[in-house]
Structures are given as C-alpha cells and as structure tokens.
Amino acid sequence: MVRGPRHVAAVGRLFGETRLHTSAPAALTWPVALTRSAAQPAIEVGTFRRWTMLAATTLAQAASAVAVHGPAFLIPALVARSGLSLTEAGLVAAAPVLGTMLTLVAWGAVVDRRGERLVLLVGLAGTALASLVGTLASGTTSLAAALFLAGAAAASANAASGRVIVGWFPPERRGLAMGIRQMAQPVGVGVAAVSMAVVADAHGVTAALWVPTAAAALAVALVAVVVLDPPRPPRRQQPADSPYRRDRYLPRIHGVSMLLVVPQFVVWTYALVWLVAERGWSPGAAGVLVALTQVAGALGRIGVGQLSDVVGSRMRPLRWVAFAAVGAMAALGITAHLGWGVAVVVLVVASTITVADNGLAFTAVAERAGPFWSGRALGLQNTGQFLVAACVPPVAGLVATHAGYAAAFGLAAAFAAAALPLVPVREERELT
C-alpha cells in the first residue's frame, strides 16, 4: 500500500532518517526498473533502515526455510521413535513442501493487493502457530497436517521478502541485496540440520518443532519493528494488462530457472551419497564437506548479485552462470566416470555455481513484473522451481542406479545447456 506523508513523518521521528521529497504533487513512484523524473516525489529511507529491513526479511526467509526444509531432518527420529517406514517418514517430511508449493501464487496475489508487511506478519505468525500446534500433535496424521499448514504459511515470505528488497533498494544495489537475501535458504537449512535433528534424537520429533516456532516468532517481532511497505505508483499509472501478455520475457526466465534447478538439486541430493558410496568417505566427513559447499554457495549468490549491479544487467550474469554450470557439471560427470580424485574439487565448484542463478532470476522477475504483478510472478517463479525440484531426486536416483552417478551428473549438464538459449539477454531493459 502507499504510505502517506503523515505515516512517513512518524517513521522518520522514530528512526531519524526517513525523508519525503515532494517537489510536485504527482503520485509516488515504485522504484523498480522505472525511470524516476525529478518532478516526481519519492519516499526514501536512510541506509541504516534499508539494511535493517534487509536483515529482517532475510531472517523471515531463513525462518521459512527452517519450517519448510527442517522436517526432512526428522526422518531418522520418525523411523526410530515413531515406528514409521522410511516412505511414511518421507511423506510426513514432504508435507510442508507441499503446503508451500500450493500457496506460493496465492500469497503473491495478496502481496500485490495488500502489501508486503501485512503478508509477512500474517504468514510468519501462521508459521509459528502451526509449528506450535505440531509440538502438541499426538499422531502422525495430526503432525503431517500441522507441518502442511506451517509450510503453507511460510510460503508468504518468498514473495513478500523479495518485494521489500526490490522496492527499497535502488537498481545498482538490488543484486547485492537480493544475493544476501538468497543466503537465507542455505542458512535456514543449516540451522535446521544442526538443531532439529539433535533435538529430535534427544527429546523427540515434536520437541524439535520448537525450532521453527521460535525462528518464525523472532522473525515476526523483527518485521513488526522495522519493515515498511515500499511506495507504489497509483494503479492508473501502470499498464492494466498482465506482463505475461506483453512479451515472453518472464516465461523465459521461469523456464531458465526451472532447467537450472536440475543441476542444483542433483548435486544437493546426491553429493553426500556419491562421496560415501563412490569415493569411500565416511558419512561424517562427507557431511562436513557438503555443509561447506552450502556456505560457498551462499557466498557465491552474493558475489553474482554484486556482479549484476556492476554490469547493470541480470541476464548477462545469468547466462554466464548457466555456461559455468554446463562446464562444471560436465567436468564432474567426466572426472567421476574416470574415478579421478579431482572430482571432489569439481563437486565443490559445481555446488557453488549451480545455486548462483537464483537471486539473479528472482530480482529480474520482480523488476520486470512491476509493483502490482511481481507478487504473483514471484509465486509462479518459485512454484515452477518447486515442481522441478520435487521430480529431480527420483529421476536422478533412477539414472544413478542404472547408469551410475557420472551419468546423472552429465544429464544435469544437458539441462543446464538447454537453458542457455532461453536466457532473454536481448530483451532485457537496462537497469534504471
């Protein structure tokens, strides 16, 4: 929603840094890939407040990742303590992922109509409440239902947190800011891995759900204190038709991202298994290496985001990442097939490269879709990625079983190669 001068002045008194420029009575402008004239007023916030909002939305996204991906680390306890089969435990752990996938677009639509702050507060509060209900679950069905609802609520952070960043950061800083925000997923997964699994082993599955409950509650508190809705122009100043009807730019980015999910999840899913089964590593040592690759991948997202700011383009770096993913996965397939020790080093490189595209595509979608469509566009972006990600483990596992891990790595390189001609470099507008 558009904030008025009184609201902005109140915030300014609180933080001492918000400014309202009103050189003309024209409407507020949305700072997303739009040329802002000197005659248009614009709400601006100080550097400290802007980065504080980035921290809050990054925490919100990390809390979402804990709620959605954390239950996967409960599988051993579900099998050992609850007597479930591995398949049954896997279905319970998949419940929050299903809830997220089914509600991403709906949450995006609410963001487009009601604003980012409201969606973050309601969604994160719902995540905390559903996770709390999970701590009281007495059976497998009630636990799965609570996890589903937690995932459905946690999906709110995906579109809303990205929109806050795109709305408040200028184009020349958005890539870096979104790269930092994209660190939230691996950080959240890492937090869940080192906390939920340990608590579940010591005190039970339901006790472990206090981790996502606390993470979501903390995120709600921080969002309530620091996050503001970015300014938007009046709807009459924006095109009335869908951005999907104007050109093929957004569908092409969705397609590129879906194809590049394949190498990312092949490596994420089977790196540890390959190190143990093919390279003879202990599970502990393999787990440490995989954790380090998560850190490297998070830093890579920041680096690529900063690169996009420097070159003034999201699509050129995205194509470079796709090229690098093809080379890295092909090299991994070849070295793994030949049994060379350097394959482990190539694995680390591939793990870093294959996650680097996420922030670039996410930022580009929000910039092109505009203030009244980007919520739904980001929801579609994530939904497509979730659908592909759900298919990758079983298909790649089938290939690895019958043709070997090297073949699975090589097949992932082919998907990355298919993404190259789809990257809409020529259709991209210069960042303004």
Q: 185: Cβ–Cβ under 8 A, 6 or more apart, which residues?
A: 61, 62, 65, 69, 358
Q: Please tell me which residue, 194 or 96, carries the higher pLDDT value.
A: 96
Q: Are 129 and 97 in contact (CB under 8 A)?
A: no
pLDDT in tens, 106-161: 898 888 888 889 999 999 999 999 999 999 988 889 999 999 999 999 999 987 88
Q: Assess whether pLDDT exceeds 90 at residue 190.
A: no
pLDDT at 55: 92
Distance CA 263, CA 356 (A): 12
Per-residue pLDDT, 240: 63
Query: How high is the pLDDT of residue 67?
Result: 93
Residues 313-348 pLDDT 10s: 899 999 999 999 999 999 999 999 999 999 999 999
- What local confidence, expressed as pLDDT, does residue 413 receive? 96
pLDDT tens column, 205-226: 889 999 999 999 999 999 999 9
pLDDT at 238: 60
Q: Does the pLDDT value for residue 244 go beyond 90?
A: no
* pLDDT score for 397: 84
Phi-psi region of 191 (alpha: psi -120 to 50; beta: other; left: phi over 0): alpha
Provide the pLDDT for residue 237.
56
Residue whose token pair is 């203030």:
371
Residues 57-61, mean pLDDT to the nearest whole number: 93
State the average pLDDT over residues 20-40.
Answer: 33
User: Does position 81 have pLDDT exceeding 70, yes or no?
Assistant: yes
In this prediction, residue 148 carries a pLDDT of: 94
Q: Is the pLDDT of residue 429 over 70?
A: no
Share of the chain above pLDDT 70, in %: 86
Residues above pLDDT 90, as percent of the chain: 34
Q: Is the pLDDT of residue 1 over 70?
A: no
Q: Report the pLDDT value the prediction gives residue 6, as an integer from 0 to 100.
A: 42
Residue 234: predicted pLDDT: 67
DSSP codes joined into one string, 404-425: -HHHHHHHHHHHHHHHGGG--T
> What's the pLDDT at 90?
76
In this structure, are residues 252 and 160 in contact, taking their beta carbons and an 8 Å threshold? no
Residue type, 9: A
Whole-number pLDDT of residue 3? 44
- pLDDT at position 204, please? 87
Give the H/E segment covering residue 21. Answer: strand 19-21
Query: Can you tell me the distance from the alpha carbon of 119 to that of 157, in angstroms, rounded to the nearest whole number?
Result: 8
What average pLDDT does the segment 344-364 reach? 89
pLDDT (tens digit per residue) in 374-397: 778 888 888 898 888 878 878 888
Name which of 3-7, 108-112, 138-142, 281-285 the model is least confident about: 3-7
Q: What is the CA radius of gyration of the chain?
A: 22
**Closest to 214 (Cα-Cα) out of 319, 124, 283:** 124
Domains and CATH numbers, the chain: 5-233 (1.20.1250.20), 243-422 (1.20.1250.20)
Query: What is the average per-residue pLDDT within 393-413?
Result: 90
CA dist., res. 185 & res. 178, Å (int):
12
Asked whether the predicted pLDDT for residue 34 surpasses 50, the reply is: no
Neighbours of 242 (CB within 10 A): 12
Confidence (pTM): 0.73
pLDDT at 423 over 60: yes
Mean pLDDT on 22-41: 33
For residue 272, which amino acid is it?
Answer: L
pLDDT at 165: 85
Q: CA-CA distances (angstroms) from residue 190 to 62, 194, 262, 288? A: 10, 6, 21, 11
Partner residues linked to 308 by β-bridges: none
Residue 406 pLDDT greater than 60, yes or no? yes
At residue 41, the pLDDT reads 42
